[in-house]
Amino acid sequence: MNQFVVSARKYRPSTFDTVVGQQHITHTLQNALKNNHLTQAYLFCGPRGVGKTTCARILAKTLNCINLTADFEACNECEFCQMINSGQSFNMQELDAASNNGVDEMRALVEQVRYAPQSGKYKIYIIDEVHMLSTAAFNAFLKTLEEPPPYAIFILATTEKHKILPTILSRCQIFDFNRITIDDIAHQLTYIAGKEGITADAEGLHIIAQKADGAMRDALSMFDQIVSFAGNTVTYKDVLSNLNVLDYEYYFKITDLMTKGDYASILLVFDELLNEGFDGHHFVTGMSGHLRDLMVCKDAATLKLLTVSSGVKERYRAQAEASDGEWLMALLDIFNRCDIEYKTSKNQRLHVELTLMKACRVKKKFPELTEDFFEIVYEDLVNTSGDVVVAPRPILQTQTQNIVAEPPPKPISISTTPQIPPIKIPAGVRMIPSIRNLGVKAPPSELGEAAEVATGASKNKPFDIAELHKQVKIFADTKIDTGARNLYFTLCNHLPQLSGNRIVFLVDNNNQQDLVNDVKVSLLGYLKDALQNDYISIDTSVSETPTHGKVAYTGEEKFKEMESKNPELKRLRKLFDLDI
């Protein structure tokens, strides 16, 4: 039985014209050979599987080929070409910097550079994954890279250019390799399938090209895997089942159901997907991509951004014509939020199902979207305990459409703790987009009286000093239960004064002032609610003449006070050498 050779090696390009998707680089190298403008250090950088090492080997082969073609391509027949193709050439050496990244390996390479080639014009050194070299290895290589002998050419390859020292970058000609386009990969897969006698659906090969994410090597590996699974006939279904890819059909079907507002059928389709082993997050990102492709089809100028086969492109165009652009943008926003919040959700399936139901409600409830759409989609209101209350906001009247407002449904509570009810917005009131958070007050000139009602009007109920003192004592009672006795006595013995809406606590010393300042925020919040006034403020001040006499707080102060009453304590302290 013959040994199997993977397609990535069997169909590795051997000349510049067979390199896929990197014509801007191959043409530059051929022109450099033609005009004899060769530099002594090249840096090939780009994603994995796009042809960096392949182009380095082709360049090395072309430099020593003795029978160059008219297009300055290697002949692949002379002694030098055959030795390089078989990996036996002494004029080309490859170093894997991932496993040989020390200074000793680099010194050994520098030592080899001193010797001229026995045959041929150049000695080529290819260093793959050069970013893995240590700083000491880079420094050992630096001088040789800057002033190499005329017969030495270095070709460095890396996927992470930003990790290479700037002193190395400045000594190289840098070539940035692009990701290979989906069409180029699909065309190459079609060519290889024909060479291997394999019948493959164009749709299936296109799915492989999309899954490869611009890497030809990944595409060829997936192609070999599917051929092993399906044999010499590769169908679209074989590709979907083997690569675990969602069929376009599901996305088209779900979009049609969202247009009808049929959330029950959508939930059944989503359940079917989960039972087939697909991940919910994968579905959400795929749905976002599908909606993006529909938006691309809305404009003929952006139609070229649609990277699907011609047959599927017609289906996208038909569904895009039947969809409203603002509706698609609204759905994109909903699914994008779902994508962002998916990993932090405790119940991820429910999270996706709620997103699908919201998407259905958009088209069913609001068939004609207006500029107010983002103010009438679901709003998350957070109560003081941090629990979430989800409440749909009613549709609002606009100046251009006469839409009757509907009362908001009863909010769905996710906790048994007390919750803030959803905001009731009167008909005829139009929300300002920048006013979104509870408790944020805008100037009356921007909102008007009606809008102030919608966002929650400020409270300014008058109160007297007696009511203030009563509420301060109630607050102090709640603190003594927690063991804060000093705070309790401070508040009760230093009841505040009132100056307009300014509440002033006049205390005897800094310690008492610190006690009041520590609870200033919670005390102010309590008084605003208890007194129904949002404009009050709290200040503290230390009295120059204490209202309750000087109070001893420190140990030394307490000892001096006791000593004044009993002078014998001083002699006792000295006799026994006592410390405070």
User: pLDDT of 194-217, one tens digit each?
Assistant: 888 888 888 888 888 888 888 888
- DSSP annotation of 121 reads S
The strand ranges marked E within 30-128 are: 41-45, 92-96, 123-128
Average pLDDT over residues 355-369: 69
* Res 48 pLDDT > 60: yes
The torsion angle over the Cα atoms of residues 330, 334, 336 and 341, rounded to 10 degrees, is 160
One-letter amino acid of 160 = E
Supply the pTM of this predicted model: 0.56
Instruction: Tell me how far the alpha carbon of residue 509 is from its chain's centroid.
Output: 52
Structure confidence at residue 313 (pLDDT): 80
Q: Which of 7-21, 296-310, 485-499, 550-564 has the lowest mean pLDDT?
A: 550-564
Share of the chain above pLDDT 70, in %: 81
Average pLDDT over residues 244-257: 85
CA-closest candidate to residue 491, choices 465, 514, 473: 473
Q: Which of 24-28, 321-325, 343-347, 576-580 has the lowest mean pLDDT?
A: 576-580
Cβ(180)–Cβ(216) under 8 Å? yes
Q: Which of 9-23, 271-285, 356-370, 483-497 has the lowest mean pLDDT?
A: 356-370
Average pLDDT over residues 234-263: 85
**pLDDT tens digits, one per residue of 271-286:** 988 888 888 888 898 8
Bridge partners of 200, per DSSP, are: 234
One-letter amino acid of 418 = P
Rounded to whole angstroms, how far apart are CA atoms 225 and 218?
11
Bridge partners of 176, per DSSP, are: 45
Structure confidence at residue 174 (pLDDT): 92
* Res 505 pLDDT > 70: yes
Pairing outcome for strands 92-96 and 41-45: unpaired
Rounded to whole angstroms, how far apart are CA atoms 167 and 136?
13
Structure tokens belonging to residue 538: 């709290």
| pLDDT band per the 50, 70, 90 thresholds, residue 155 | very high
Rounded alpha-carbon distances, angstroms, from residue 403 to 327, 433, 441: 18, 19, 27
* Res 382 pLDDT > 50: no
- DSSP annotation of 162 reads G
SS3 per residue for 316-327: HHHHHHCCCHHH
Average pLDDT over residues 111-134: 87
* Res 401 pLDDT > 70: no
Give me the residue label for tokens 């749909």.
392
Rounded to whole angstroms, how far apart are CA atoms 488 and 499?
23
Average pLDDT over residues 397-407: 43
Cβ(168)–Cβ(145) under 8 Å? yes
Average pLDDT over residues 430-458: 42
Rounded to whole angstroms, how far apart are CA atoms 21 and 422?
56
Q: Which residue segments constitute the domains of the chain, with CATH numbers given?
A: 7-176 (3.40.50.300), 182-243 (1.10.8.60), 248-455 (1.20.272.10), 465-542 (3.30.300)
Q: In what order do the strands lie in the sheet with 152-158?
A: 92-96, 123-128, 152-158, 41-45, 173-176
Helix (H, G, I), strand (E, B) or coil at 102: coil
Rounded to whole angstroms, how far apart are CA atoms 287 and 293?
10
The strand ranges marked E within 67-183 are: 92-96, 123-128, 152-158, 173-176
Structure confidence at residue 400 (pLDDT): 39
Structure confidence at residue 436 (pLDDT): 39
CA-closest candidate to residue 135, choices 115, 161, 106, 158: 106
Rounded to whole angstroms, how far apart are CA atoms 213 and 222?
12
Rounded to whole angstroms, how far apart are CA atoms 71 and 56?
18
Number of residues that this document lists for the chain: 580
128 or 365: which leads in pLDDT: 128
Structure confidence at residue 546 (pLDDT): 58
| pLDDT band per the 50, 70, 90 thresholds, residue 8 | confident
One-letter amino acid of 492 = C
Rounded to whole angstroms, how far apart are CA atoms 389 and 162?
47
Structure confidence at residue 45 (pLDDT): 92
The burial of 279, by beta-carbon neighbours within 10 Å (0-12 exposed, 13-18 middle, 19 or more buried), is given as middle
Helix (H, G, I), strand (E, B) or coil at 183: helix
| Helix, strand and coil in the chain, % to nearest 5 | 50, 10, 40
Rounded to whole angstroms, how far apart are CA atoms 477 and 531?
17
5 or 365: which leads in pLDDT: 5
Q: 452-470 burial by CB neighbour count: b if 16+ within 10 A, else e?
A: bebbeeeeeeebeeeebee
Q: In what order do the strands lie in the sheet with 502-507?
A: 497-499, 502-507, 537-542
Structure tokens belonging to residue 365: 């409830």
Average pLDDT over residues 56-73: 87
Please report how the helices 216-230 and 202-211 are oriented relative to each other, as an axis angle in degrees rounded to 10: 130
Bridge partners of 389, per DSSP, are: 381, 413
Structure tokens belonging to residue 378: 């679901």
Average pLDDT over residues 95-121: 85
Structure confidence at residue 157 (pLDDT): 92
> Can you list the alpha helix ranges (DSSP code H) found in 390-484?
444-455, 465-480
Give me the residue label for tokens 């080929």.
65
Q: 139-157 burial by CB neighbour count: b if 16+ within 10 A, else e?
A: ebbeebbeebeebbbbbbb
Q: What are the DSSP calls for 471-504, one per residue?
A: HHHHHHHHHHTTT-HHHHHHHHHSPPEEETTEEE
The strand ranges marked E within 123-219 are: 123-128, 152-158, 173-176, 199-200
> Can you list the alpha helix ranges (DSSP code H) found in 65-102?
79-85
Structure confidence at residue 454 (pLDDT): 40
Bridge partners of 499, per DSSP, are: 502
Structure tokens belonging to residue 202: 């164009």
Structure tokens belonging to residue 335: 């699914």
| pLDDT band per the 50, 70, 90 thresholds, residue 457 | low
Average pLDDT over residues 281-310: 84
| pLDDT band per the 50, 70, 90 thresholds, residue 571 | confident
Give me the residue label for tokens 């190499």.
148
First to last CA, the chain: 96
Cβ(206)–Cβ(186) under 8 Å? yes
What is the pLDDT of the chain when averaged over all its residues? 78
Q: Which of 394-398, 454-458, 482-486 has the lowest mean pLDDT?
A: 394-398
Structure confidence at residue 88 (pLDDT): 79
